[in-house]
Amino acid sequence: MMRGTLAMLTAVALVGSVRADAKSYFSETEKDFGVTALGPVLVHYFPIKNKTNSVVQIGQPRIQCGCVGVLLMKATLQPGETTYMVASMMTAKIPTTQIGIPKSVTVNVPFLSPVLEEVTTKVTVLARPDMVWSTTDGLALGTVAEGKTATGSMKITLYGNDKWEISKTEGTGKYIKAEAKAISRTTSETTYEITATVDASCPAGSWMSEVFITTNATGVARMRIPLAVVVAIPISANPGALDLGSVGVGSENTRDVLLTGLQPFRVLDATTGDAGITAKPQTEGSKNQHTVKVTVKPTKAGTIARELNIKTDSKEMPTLKLAITATVK
Give the per-residue pLDDT at 11: 36
Q: How far is the C-alpha of 324 from the C-alpha of 16, rounded, in Å?
A: 53
Pairing type for strands 205-215 and 222-232 reads: antiparallel
- Give the alpha-carbon dihedral of 284, 286, 289, 293, to 10 degrees: 30
Give the per-residue pLDDT at 276: 83
Q: Which of 128, 95, 103 is nearest to 223 (CA)?
A: 128
**pLDDT in single tens digits along all 329 residues of the chain:** 334 433 333 333 333 334 447 899 999 999 999 999 999 999 999 999 999 999 999 999 999 899 999 999 999 999 999 999 999 999 999 999 999 999 999 999 999 999 999 999 999 999 999 999 999 999 999 999 899 999 999 999 999 999 999 999 999 989 999 999 999 999 999 999 999 999 999 999 999 999 999 999 999 999 999 999 999 999 999 999 988 888 888 888 888 999 999 899 999 999 988 878 889 999 999 999 999 999 888 888 888 888 999 999 998 899 999 998 888 88
pTM of the model: 0.76
Give the per-residue pLDDT at 248: 84
Q: Which domains does the chain have, with CATH numbers?
A: 23-128 (2.60.40.10), 131-232 (2.60.40.10), 235-328 (2.60.40.10)
Give the per-residue pLDDT at 321: 93
Residue 205 C-beta-side C-alpha neighbours within 13 Å: 8
Count CB-CB contacts under 10 A for residue 137: 14
Integer-rounded Cα radius of gyration of the chain: 28
Q: Which of 144, 133, 170, 177 is nearest to 41 (CA)?
A: 133
